Amino acid sequence: MTTKTISVLQDLLATNKQAAAAIRQELSSRGILCINLLSSPGSGKTTLLESLADRLRGRYRMAVIEGDIETERDAERIRAKGIPAWQITTGGACHLEARMIGRVLSHVPAAIDFLFIENVGNLVCPASYDLGEDLRCVLLSSPEGDDKPAKYPQAFLSADCLILTKADLVPYLPFDPAKAAAEALSIKPGLRIFTVSALRGDGVDELAAYFAEALERLRSARA
Ligand SMILES: Nc1nc2c(ncn2[C@@H]2O[C@H](COP(=O)(O)OP(=O)(O)O)[C@@H](O)[C@H]2O)c(=O)[nH]1
Ligand SMILES: [Mg+2]
Ligand SMILES: [Zn+2]
């Protein structure tokens, strides 16, 4: 019984990987960099996207795919910034899968630079599902505690960058950013780490520059 369950999951993940590879191929042929944001609920994904929308405006074009179990709320917040956004409601599923992204892809305008995907708030299974992204960013907010990387290692191991969010709250909390960073680096050596306060805008330009460099690399590899 156990063996069967594992092989079904492996099939699911293999099928997901194929769909993700097709998405990555399609987006890179269009010169679009895709970024998957992963974190527990409330760590500041949507607020960060709102802040990025303000900072990228006039220089880069972005679009957002929002994943939630229910409601259109996050897509509405992004659209209020004048950014195209599509909401995927999973109706209970606790992660996005590549085929869900695939269904939205034909709506994504050709003339954009960045496609952000906000995954369902969950630090566990989204880590196992490739969505065809070029960069995976895991967010950890200061109220969540600096002990989380070792408790949810797959999310940190599979990420390209760690974004420590809500930096403005650090003075009021027993959160040690150096400890969180060191723990994440012990899981994933070389992980890029950014510290931001999306509410104040601190650190968001540095993150935007990192995305812009990755976009340049994608486009020069294509040329
Ligand atoms: N103090 C502070 N609060 C923040 C920051 N970013 C987000 N929040 C708050 O955290 C809550 C959850 O943010 P949200 O972006 O919806 O998180 P999500 O569920 O990961 O998309 C909201 O009340 C935000 O206003 C920040 O940089 N500093
Ligand atoms: Mg959100
Ligand atoms: Zn899940």
Query: To test ligand 1's pocket by mutation, which of 47, 48, 139, 200 has the most ligand atoms within 8 angstroms of CB?
Result: 47
CB-based contact 185:150 (threshold 8 Å): no
pTM of the model: 0.96
pLDDT of residue 223: 73
Q: Is 168 in the pocket of ligand 1 (CB under 6 A)?
A: yes
Instruction: Kindly list the domain boundaries of the chain, sorted by start residue.
Output: 15-217
Q: Please check the confidence at residue 4 and state whether its pLDDT lies above 80.
A: no
* 16: nearest Cα among 103, 128, 116: 128
Greater pLDDT, 99 or 9: 99
Strand pairing class (62-68; 85-89): parallel
Q: Is 195 in the pocket of ligand 1 (CB under 6 A)?
A: no
Q: What are 135-180's pLDDT values in tens digits?
A: 999 999 999 999 999 999 999 999 999 999 999 999 999 999 999 9
Q: How far is the CA of 72 from the centre of ligand 2 (A)?
A: 10
CB-based contact 36:118 (threshold 8 Å): no
Q: What are 38-80's pLDDT values in tens digits?
A: 999 999 999 999 999 999 999 999 999 999 999 999 999 999 9
Mean pLDDT over 10-26 rounds to 95
CB-based contact 150:182 (threshold 8 Å): no
Q: How far is the CA of 149 from the centre of ligand 1 (A)?
A: 19
Average pLDDT score, the chain? 96
**Per CATH, which fold does 15-217 belong to?**
Rossmann fold (3.40.50)
Q: Quick one: which atom of ligand 1 is closest to the CA of 49?
A: 15
Find the ligand nearest to 44 CA.
1
